[in-house]
């Protein structure tokens, strides 16, 4: 029986909760690795993608704090590359430890991944992707004046810096990533949505942006011809009428039905909306594909069809 390819998009809770120390984030990844081990044991070929919002935001702050002529601050695309290497390193260690304990012999590799975007993407004119920590309104307004950056109030939790979030048009390393996966390796790639680059004069140039990790995972899953896109977040299912008395969870659902809920404004931007949109794009790219949205602790059961929001062309899987 042919092993199924799955691209797994890890949410931020898989890496960092409240504690931003390296030790705390590595500890969180140990639990993440234990959940991913169940998928590995079942024989799935997998590529792991992940977010980097808090991490890249903190790296940017550290760069700014030490910015001098001798130690100039690095641009956002380079900070994104730093976060890919850092989180990939932590995740490699966590996965290798889990596999060693389980007696599984596989290699784990992180691919620092560039994601091509269009220089004409309208997102460059409308920054919307929050990065970094939360601030009070007073702090935010002072930073906007002093640093010439854009900050917005984020869902009642405080103010955050926002940067452009263009759509991915290509994953430059996708062939290498696919070869590694098909060679029996566990691959960590497209961290934080990948390093955003544009094509100019036969070269690729980094740009000041952060690509949404769910759209980047979708594009990668499409390019490597994955069978399943598994988007992991903080909740077990997608819901409509969220946090209302008539809240309803969605289980098996067709993309057409999900599109209607999307059009009706059921899903919040920056939260569930990009996950739903990425899932629809992936399933539309090939009718035999399936997307799943669920929580990390339900990841394996969701792949087995027992839980989570299962998104297909038709409501009943064939």
Active site (catalytic) residues: 12-13, 129, 213, 275
- Is the separation of the CB atoms in 179 and 147 below 8 Å? no
- Is the separation of the CB atoms in 221 and 7 below 8 Å? yes
- Cα torsion at 294, 295, 296, 302 (round to 10°)? -40
| CA–CA gap between residue 236 and residue 221 (Å, rounded) | 21
Task: Please give, one letter per residue, the 3-state secondary structure of 105-165.
Answer: CCCEEEECCEEEECCCCHHHHCCCEEEEEEECHHHHHHHHHHHCCEEEECCCCCEEEEECC
| CA–CA gap between residue 70 and residue 85 (Å, rounded) | 24
| CA–CA gap between residue 136 and residue 143 (Å, rounded) | 11
Q: Tokens representing 223?
A: 């390019």
Closest CA to 48 of 68, 30, 33: 33
| CA–CA gap between residue 81 and residue 138 (Å, rounded) | 31
The conformation of residue 75, written as its DSSP 8-state character, comes to P
| CA–CA gap between residue 116 and residue 205 (Å, rounded) | 9
In sign, the C-alpha dihedral spanning 306, 283, 112, 16 is: negative
- Is the separation of the CB atoms in 117 and 209 below 8 Å? yes
Residue 196 CB: number of other CB atoms within 10 A?
A: 27
């Amino acid at each position: 029986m042919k092993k199924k390819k799955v691209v797994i998009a890890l949410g931020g809770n898989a890496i960092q909760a409240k504690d931003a120390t390296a030790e705390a984030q590595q500890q969180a990844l140990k639990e993440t690795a234990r959940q991913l081990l169940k998928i590995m044991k079942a024989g799935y070929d997998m590529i792991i993608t992940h977010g980097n919002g808090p991490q890249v935001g903190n790296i940017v702050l550290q760069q700014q704090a030490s910015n001098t002529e001798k130690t100039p601050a690095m641009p956002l695309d380079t900070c994104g590359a730093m976060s890919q290497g850092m989180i990939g390193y932590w995740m490699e260690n966590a996965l290798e430890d889990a596999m060693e304990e389980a007696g599984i012999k596989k290699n784990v590799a992180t691919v620092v991944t560039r994601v091509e975007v269009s220089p004409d993407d309208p997102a460059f004119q409308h920054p919307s992707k929050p990065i970094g920590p939360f601030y009070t309104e007073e702090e935010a307004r002072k930073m906007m004046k002093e640093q010439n950056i854009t900050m917005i109030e984020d869902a009642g939790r405080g103010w955050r810096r926002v940067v452009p979030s263009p759509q991915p048009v290509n994953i430059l390393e996708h062939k290498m990533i696919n070869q590694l996966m098909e060679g029996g390796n566990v691959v960590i790639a497209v961290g934080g949505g990948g390093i955003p680059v544009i094509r100019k004069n036969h070269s690729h140039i980094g740009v000041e942006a952060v690509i949404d990790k769910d759209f980047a995972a979708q594009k990668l899953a499409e390019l490597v011809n994955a069978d399943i896109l598994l988007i992991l977040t903080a909740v077990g299912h997608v819901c409509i009428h969220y946090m209302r008395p008539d809240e309803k969870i969605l289980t098996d659902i067709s993309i057409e039905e999900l599109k209607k809920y999307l059009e009706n404004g059921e899903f919040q931007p920056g939260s569930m909306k990009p996950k739903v949109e990425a899932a629809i794009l992936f399933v539309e790219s090939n009718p035999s594909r399936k997307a799943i949205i669920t929580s990390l602790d339900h990841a394996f059961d969701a792949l087995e069809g027992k839980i989570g929001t299962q998104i297909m062309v038709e409501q009943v899987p064939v």
